[in-house]
Structure 1
Amino acid sequence: MTSVLVVDDEPSFTEALSVGLRREGFEVRTAADGRAALEEISESEPDLILLDVMLPGMSGLDVCREIRKTTRVPLIMVTARGEEIDAVVGLEVGADDYVSKPYRMRELVARMRAVLRRASPQPSEPEATCLVEGDVMLDIDRHELRVRGELVSLALKEFELLAYLLSNAGRVVTRDSLMQNVWGYNYVGDTKTIDVHVKRLRAKIEDDPSDPQRITTIRGLGYRYERSVTN
C-alpha cells in the first residue's frame, strides 16, 4: 500500500484529508509541524509527502529544503489560494508539484498518482544510458548530471525535463510536447510550471542564466537545447 505523510497543523483538515486518502487506497501518516515531519521521514520514509507551506515554527519551505538534503521522495507542496510566490519557491527548493487550497479530492489524488508514476522505476529500454552535449553529461542509469565534470544535484522533475530536452537536442520542443512527455497527459496543474523548471535548470547548467546558451527560448513555440555548447 502506498504510504503518504500529510504535514499540516490544522487537525480538522488533516482528519478529513486522511479519511479521503484512505478511501482512495493510501496508507496515511500525519505530522503537525516540520520537526515532527522530519522525524517521521527519518524513521520510515513515506512514498509521498503532502507538505503545507504555512506551518508553526519551521516553515514548509524550510522543511522541504531539509528533506531534499537526504531524500528524493516525491513531495507536493500545499499552498493557500493565491500564494503563487510560495508555490514557485516551493518548486525551486525541490517540490515536485504544488496544489492550492481549497482543492477537490479528485484533483489532488490525480496529482499524487502522477507524481508517483514519474518517480517509479521505468522498464529498461534499448536506448543510450548517457545523454551528452558538450560538457553536459546526463547519466540515466545513475540518475546523475555532470557539468564540466562536476556533479550537479537535480530534482526528479528537473532530471526528466533535461533528459527530454537533451534527447531532442537541436530541435524545438513545444510546450505541449513538454507537458505531455514530461508531466504526462493526466497532469492538471498550471503550465507555468514548465517555465519554473526551465528557470531552475538554467540556474544549474548555464554560465549566465540570464543569457542562456544551452536551453534557449523559441518565442511562441517552446524551448530548444542547443547542440554542443562549450566554453
Structure 2
Amino acid sequence: MNGQWTEAGGGATVLVLEDEPGIADVLSIALRHHRFAVMAAGSLRQARQLTERTRPDAALLDVMLPDGDGRTFGCELRARYPETAVLFLTARDAAAEIVGALRYGDDYITKPFNVDEVVARIAAVLRRTRPADVLPVPPPLRYRDLELDETMYAVRRGDRTVRLTPTEYALLRFLVRNAGRVVPKEQLLRHVWQYEHPAESTVVETYISYLRRKLAPLGPPLITTRRGLGYGLA
C-alpha cells in the first residue's frame, strides 16, 4: 500500500497505520463516511513520511507491522505532536498487551473489531482531547418517518428517541440502507461484525431481538424476518 491522503468534508484528520489492505480500506471508507480526513499508511516508513508534512488529530496504529512496532511509532508521534490522540489496534487481548497499549496511547481496540465501534472510539477520544469544532457532524439517515442520528447512535420518531449500542446501530443502519431488500444473515455477519462467524452462530438473531425490543416504543414493528432468507424492514 502506498501512503495515501484522502479528505472528506474538512473534519478531523486520522492517520490509519495498517499493513493489511483489506482492513485499511474498510477503516478508511468508514472514517471518510463520517467526514474525517484520512491519511493511510501500510508501514512505519510511510507513516513517518506522511506525518512529517501533516499533524493528524488522531492516529489509529496497528501494533504488529512488517517494519516495526506501532507502539514505538506512537511514542514518536506523541513526542512530536503531544495533542495527537493515539489508539492501537491489536490482535492480542492479554492483560499485559492491553496495559502496554494504554501506557503508550489513549485507547486500544482488539481484532476482530466492529468498524462502527472503531469510529465511535476515535470520536470519543477526540471529544476528550480536541475542541468540538474539529469533530465531524455526519448527516442523519432517514427511513420513512424515522431518523437515525449518526452522532448519538439514536433512532427518533416524532418526539420519541431510543439510544442504541454501536453494534445495534450498525445493524439497523445496514438494514435501512438496504430498505426494500431481504438481507441474508451471512451478509449481515460480514458487514456488521467484519469477519465470518460459524454458520450456527446466533449473533444476528440475538441482536435483531435486542433491536426489536428497543424499537418497540417507537411504534409498529419495523424489522421483518423472511425465514430461511434473511431480514428486512416493514
Output the TM-score relative to the length of structure 1: 0.50
